[in-house]
């Protein structure tokens, strides 16, 4: 008797083990059927539906058997709907009988992509949900914690990168591993996604061989994130989330006490060379050593975090930018004296940008300014600390870029830094103030969506000023809707650039508009 | 351990029956009649569980082949059927099956009882 009831237990788990393969077959067959007729696909669905309808009830899944029978007998025009329902029921049976360990959200308006992804990654313990619009995704994201998000960039109600920004700016979601699915292959878009800390970038058409591995490794990382929510395991210092948490208090204290708060962004020089020449383990050692030297050389009251990759961030309370630069110079000299055996005497150096926080400024905006300095230090030959921008090169055209998204702003500023003198405005109000204060910008780039005054408002305000009546003003937009573009032209825009843009196209566009002036 | 041959084309049902029986019997699985006939003569089992609605060769045809084979003809053969009508029962027994078990197999006791009786004798199945 006992062996019989044990057998019953085994039955259910064996049936559940077989569900992923069934879902795989159904979802694979669905893909060609969604766009047309495919006799082979229909045949494989009916064959499997027959198998399920003849057996599901014996395993205690009578409803599944019923639905399978309906699918087997469905007219061709109902087959997709029935198959979809059958697959969904199988997926939910698997979910409800296995204790879920990872919740995975696929955001893509193309159901075929969901078919493909779900069929290749379904497994016991994984709950896979689908959202076909930004709006639907937001509801689902709010509803629970997710271990992985697969995100398409082109969605019917907006740009996937807007969601990326939103996810990254909320402490609850900022460390969810995100895999970007997109046909958009420009280097700038990839860099942009990488700058948001996305896990991977998979180009469509998706490679079925690659998807399961990418998903598994992203889920692995998500487990590790749960363990160390605030700490970077390699260096033992705060990670991005942890740093933000402590920084908020440091900033509040500085404002309360009317003291300066310096922020330094540090990037190890030629870090890739360490990895490439000596392997990742040595690269990790270099990071750990750099972290330790930072910790040892700075004051206990200084807040240190690993921002990502080979980038560190430090907040120094009650310190001027100049004072912070001096403190970091000490770090630099100690680091260059620290030898790591495996690197054959190669010294570790870094480039650094230092700022002090302005009133009413958030960390992200401060970091945009620090990054501008950091990038200038890199361009200037690396191994240096800058707290003021080098004197403007009068030969270079001056551009005002108003972009509120800090990640995007950092990228655009980096793209333009080589050829232009770039000033950044974090919102529309600041853009108007900067343009009014300094009327010699040769060109203005305005993001459409900005807080306080939006891009269109800034455009109208500038066109009323004598200095900007005929100056080139270009709009940056995430959506190329005719209505928006028409509005921009009516308000006097010279051109518009739809994000994402390739770096070369962006620079060519700017050159064209600057041509008459130069 | 006695050996039971299971002839069933639906892989889920094969798994189901094999899982129910595997602690008590050695189960040999066959997907269709031709494969079964080939296997049965090589290693004669103690009992055959035979699905009725098989592709190619039907259950009745497989039964006929067993009954026409001098080495196999005395084997107890149980019909596995989804046609769970009471009238069918008499018909299957009349066709020469030794017993029949209706699918879905919601209560495995019935299956076990049938097998026990056929292998060890005892209660009548009628």
**Distance in angstroms between the alpha carbons of the first and the last residue of chain A:** 93
pLDDT of B62 strictly over 70: yes
CA distance A64 to A87: 10
| CB-nearest partner of A7 from B19, B104, B106 | B19
Q: DSSP letter at A108?
A: -
Q: In what order do the strands lie in the sheet with A126-131?
A: A126-131, A102-107, A148-152, A178-182, A200-203
The partner residue sitting opposite A55, judged by closest CB among B10, B23, B109, is: B10
Instruction: Flag the least confident range among A22-31, A141-150, A201-210.
Output: A201-210
Which is it for strands A261-268 and A350-356: parallel, antiparallel or unpaired? antiparallel
Paired with A264 in beta bridges are A314, A354
* The pLDDT value given to residue A369: 94
Q: Which residue of A has its CA nearest to B24?
A: A3
Chain B residue with minimum CA distance to A62: B104
For residues A237 and A304, the answer to whether their CB atoms sit within 8 Å is yes
Better-predicted residue by pLDDT, A509 or A374: A374
Contact B106 A57 (CB under 8 A): yes
Q: Do A54 and B10 touch (CB under 8 A)?
A: yes
Residue ranges per structural domain of chain A: 1-97, 99-227, 231-390, 393-518
B3-31 pLDDT per residue, tens: 999 999 999 999 999 998 988 899 999 99
Which of A147-151, A278-282, A356-360, A401-405 is predicted with the least confidence, judged by mean pLDDT? A278-282
A99-227 folds as Rossmann fold (3.40.50)
Q: Which residue from B minimizes the CA distance to A10?
A: B19
**A99-227 and A393-518 agree in CATH topology:** yes
- Which of A7, A10, A51 faces B10 most closely, judged by CB atoms? A51
> Mean pLDDT, to the nearest integer, of A139-168?
88
User: With bands split at pLDDT 50, 70 and 90, how would you rate the model's confidence at A51?
Assistant: very high
Q: What is the pLDDT of residue A199?
A: 81
C-alpha distances in angstroms, A49 versus A22, A161, A340, B97? 9, 39, 63, 29
Residue B85 has what pLDDT?
57
Q: pLDDT by residue (tens digit) across A443-462?
A: 999 998 888 889 999 999 99
pLDDT band for position A335 (cuts 50, 70, 90): very high
Q: How far is A56 from chain B (nearest CA, A)?
A: 8
Q: Give the model's confidence band at A1: pLDDT under 50 very low, under 70 low, under 90 confident, else very high.
A: very low
| Chain A residues close to B106, C-beta within 8 Å | 57-58, 60
Chain B contact set for A64 (CB, 8 A): none
Question: What angle separates helix B33-42 from helix B59-67, to the nearest 10 degrees?
Answer: 30
CA pair distance A141, A44, nearest whole angstrom: 35
**What pLDDT does A516 receive?**
52
Which domains, from first to last, does chain B contain? Answer: 3-120 (3.40.50.2300)
What's B46's DSSP letter?
S
Reference A504, options A416, A441, A443, A407; nearest CA is A416
Residue A148, pLDDT above cutoff 90: yes
pLDDT given for residue A469 in this prediction: 92
Chain B CB contacts of A55 under 8 Å are 10, 12-13, 16, 103-104
Q: What is the mean pLDDT of residues A100-123?
A: 88
Which 3 state secondary structure label does DSSP give A25?
helix
Query: In this complex, do B12 and A11 lie within 8 Å of one another by their Cβ atoms?
Result: no
CA atoms of A73 and A79, how far apart (whole Å): 9
Say yes or no for a CB contact (<8 Å) between A51 and B12.
yes
Confidence (pLDDT) at A480: 63
A165-178: average pLDDT: 83
User: What integer pLDDT is reported at residue B108 of this predicted model?
Assistant: 79
Mean pLDDT is lowest, of A73-82, A182-191, A351-360, A457-466, for A182-191
CB contact under 8 A, A54 and B23: no
Residue B122: what pLDDT?
56
Domain A231-390 class in CATH: alpha beta
- Out of A72, A84, A310, A415, the active site residue is A310
> Is the bond into A511 cis (omega within 30 degrees of 0)?
no
Predicted confidence band of residue A299 (pLDDT cuts 50, 70, 90): very high
Say which CATH topology domain A393-518 has. Answer: Rossmann fold (3.40.50)
Query: Taking the mean position of all CA atoms in its chain, how far away is CA A304?
Result: 23
pTM: 0.52
CA dist B95 → A14, A23, A376 (Å): 34, 39, 92
Contact predicate A351/A384, CB 8 Å: yes
Mean pLDDT for the stretch of residues A365-392: 93
Mean pLDDT of A127-155: 90
Closest-approach residue (CA) in chain B for A1:
B109
B38, containing H or E segment:
helix B33-42
Beta strands in A169-260 (DSSP E): 178-182, 200-203
What average pLDDT does chain B have? 87
Phi, psi of A43 (to 5 degrees): -65, -40
What sign for the dihedral angle of Cα A171, A176, A179, A183? negative
Percent of chain A with pLDDT over 70: 94
DSSP secondary structure, A387-450, as one string: SSPPPP-TTSPEEEEE---HHHHHHHHHHHHTTSEEEEESSHHHHHHHHHH-TT-SEEEEESS-
Residues 20-79 of B with CB under 8 A from A: 20-24
Which DSSP string corresponds to A50-71? Answer: HHHHTTGGGGT-HHHHHHHHHH
Q: How confident is the model at residue A517 (pLDDT cuts 50, 70, 90)?
A: very low
- Least Cα separation, residue B81 to chain A (angstroms): 10
Is-cis flag, bond preceding A105, omega within 30? Answer: no
Rounded CA-CA distance A312/A317 in Å is 17
Residue A496's beta-bridge partner residues? A475
Contacts of residue A301, Cβ cutoff 8 Å, sequence gap at least 6: A317
Higher-confidence residue of B124 and A63: namely: A63
Question: Does residue A95 or residue B4 have the better pLDDT?
Answer: B4
A14–chain B nearest CA distance, Å: 8
Average pLDDT on A20-37 reads 89
A494-508 pLDDT, tens digit each: 998 876 566 777 888
Q: Which residue has the higher pLDDT, A184 or A191?
A: A191
Q: What residues does A102 pair with on adjacent strands? A: A126
How many Cβ atoms sit within 10 Å of the Cβ of residue A336?
14
Closest alpha carbon within chain B to A48: B10
User: B20–A65: do the CB atoms touch at under 8 Å?
Assistant: no
Alpha carbons B87 and B78: distance in angstroms, whole number: 17
- For B103, what's the count of Cα atoms within 13 Å in the CB-facing half-sphere? 27
Q: How far apart are CA A351 and CA A414, in angstroms?
A: 15
**Subunit contact A65:B104, Cβ cutoff 8 A:** yes
pLDDT at A488 over 50: yes
DSSP A122-190: --TTEEEEEESSHHHHHHHHHHS--SEEEEESEETTEEHHHHHHHHHTSTTTTTS-EEEEES---HHHH
Residue A226 has pLDDT above 70, yes or no: no
Task: Give pLDDT, residue A227.
Answer: 46
Q: What DSSP designation does A343 have? A: G
> Shortest CB distance from B106 goes to which of A7, A51, A58?
A58
User: What's the CA gap between A410 and A417, in Å, rounded?
Assistant: 10
Burial A409-429 (b: 16+ CB within 10 A, else e): bbbbbbbbbeebbbbbbbbbb
Average pLDDT over residues A255-266: 95
With a cut of 80, say whether residue A324 has pLDDT above it: yes
- Rounded CA gap, B89 and B98, in Å? 11
Which pLDDT value is given to residue A101?
Answer: 75
pLDDT at residue B87, rounded to an integer = 63
Please state the separation of Cα A494 from the chain's center in Å. 30
Please count the residue pairs, one from chain A and one from chain B, whose beta carbons lie less than 8 angstroms apart: 60
Q: What is the CATH architecture of A1-97?
A: Up-down Bundle (1.20)
Among A34-38, A68-72, A343-347, A474-478, name the most confident range. A68-72
B15–A15 CB contact, under 8 Å: yes
DSSP for A438-459 reads -TT-SEEEEESS-SSS-HHHHH
A310 annotated active-site: yes
What are the b/e assignments for B80-107, b being 16+ CB within 10 Å? bbbeeeeeebeebeeeebbbbbbbbbee
């Amino acid at each position: 008797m006992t062996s019989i009831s044990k057998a019953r237990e085994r039955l259910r788990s064996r049936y559940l083990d077989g569900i992923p393969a069934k879902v795989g077959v159904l979802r694979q067959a669905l893909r060609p059927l969604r766009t047309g007729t495919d006799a082979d696909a229909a045949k494989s669905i009916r064959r499997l539906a027959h198998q399920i309808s003849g057996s599901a009830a014996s395993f205690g899944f009578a409803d599944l058997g019923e639905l399978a029978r309906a699918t087997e007998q469905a007219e061709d025009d109902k087959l997709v709907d029935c198959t979809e329902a059958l697959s969904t029921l199988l997926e939910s049976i698997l979910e409800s009988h296995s204790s879920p360990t990872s919740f995975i959200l696929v955001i893509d308006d193309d159901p075929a992509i969901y078919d493909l992804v779900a069929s290749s990654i379904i497994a016991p313990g994984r709950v896979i949900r689908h959202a076909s619009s930004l709006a639907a995704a937001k509801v689902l994201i709010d509803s629970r914690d997710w271990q992985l998000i697969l995100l398409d960039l082109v969605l019917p109600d907006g740009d996937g990168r807007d969601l990326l920004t939103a996810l990254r700016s909320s402490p609850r979601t900022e460390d969810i591993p995100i895999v970007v699915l997109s046909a958009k292959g420009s280097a700038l878009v990839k860099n942009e996604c990488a700058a948001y800390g996305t896990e991977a970038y998979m180009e469509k058409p998706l490679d079925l061989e690659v998807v399961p591995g990418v998903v598994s490794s992203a889920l692995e990382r998500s487990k590790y994130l749960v363990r160390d929510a605030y700490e970077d395991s390699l260096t033992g210092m705060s990670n991005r989330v942890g740093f933000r948490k402590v920084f908020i208090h440091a900033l509040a204290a500085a404002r309360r006490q009317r003291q300066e708060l310096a922020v330094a962004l540090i990037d190890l020089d030629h870090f890739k060379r360490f990895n490439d020449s000596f392997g990742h383990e040595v690269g990790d050692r270099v990071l750990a050593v750099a972290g330790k030297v930072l910790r040892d050389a700075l004051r206990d009251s200084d807040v240190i975090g690993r921002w990502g990759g080979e980038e560190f961030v430090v907040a120094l309370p009650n310190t001027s930018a100049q004072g912070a630069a001096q403190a970091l110079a000490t770090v630099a000299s100690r680091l260059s004296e620290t030898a790591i055996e495996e690197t054959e005497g190669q010294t570790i150096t870094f480039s650094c940008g230092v700022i002090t926080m302005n009133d009413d400024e958030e960390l992200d905006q401060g970091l945009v300014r620090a990054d501008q300095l950091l990038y200038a230090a890199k361009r200037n030959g690396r191994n240096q600390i800058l707290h003021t921008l080098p004197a403007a090169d009068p030969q270079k055209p001056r551009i005002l870029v108003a972009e509120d998204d800090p990640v995007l702003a950092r990228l655009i500023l980096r793209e333009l830094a080589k050829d232009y003198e770039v000033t950044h405005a974090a919102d529309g109000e600041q853009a108007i103030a900067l343009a009014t204060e300094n009327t010699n910008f040769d060109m203005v780039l305005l993001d459409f969506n900005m807080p306080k005054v939006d891009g269109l408002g800034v455009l109208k305000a500038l066109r009323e000023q004598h200095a900007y009546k005929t100056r080139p003003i270009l709009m940056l937009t995430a959506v190329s809707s005719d209505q928006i573009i028409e509005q921009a032209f009516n308000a006097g825009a010279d051109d518009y650039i739809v994000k994402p843009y390739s770096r070369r196209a962006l620079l060519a566009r700017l050159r064209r508009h600057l041509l008459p002036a130069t | 351990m006695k050996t039971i041959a299971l002839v069933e084309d639906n892989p889920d049902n094969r798994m189901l029956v094999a899982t129910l029986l595997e602690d008590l019997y050695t189960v040999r699985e066959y997907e269709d009649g031709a494969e079964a006939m080939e296997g049965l003569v090589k290693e004669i089992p103690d009992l055959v569980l035979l699905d009725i609605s098989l592709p190619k060769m039907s259950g009745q045809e497989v039964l006929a082949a067993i009954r026409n084979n001098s080495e196999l003809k005395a084997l107890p053969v149980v019909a596995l059927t989804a046609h769970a009508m009471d009238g069918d029962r008499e018909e299957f027994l009349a066709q020469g099956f030794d017993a029949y078990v209706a699918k879905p197999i919601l209560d495995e006791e019935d299956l076990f009882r049938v097998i026990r009786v056929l292998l060890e004798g005892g209660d009548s199945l009628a």
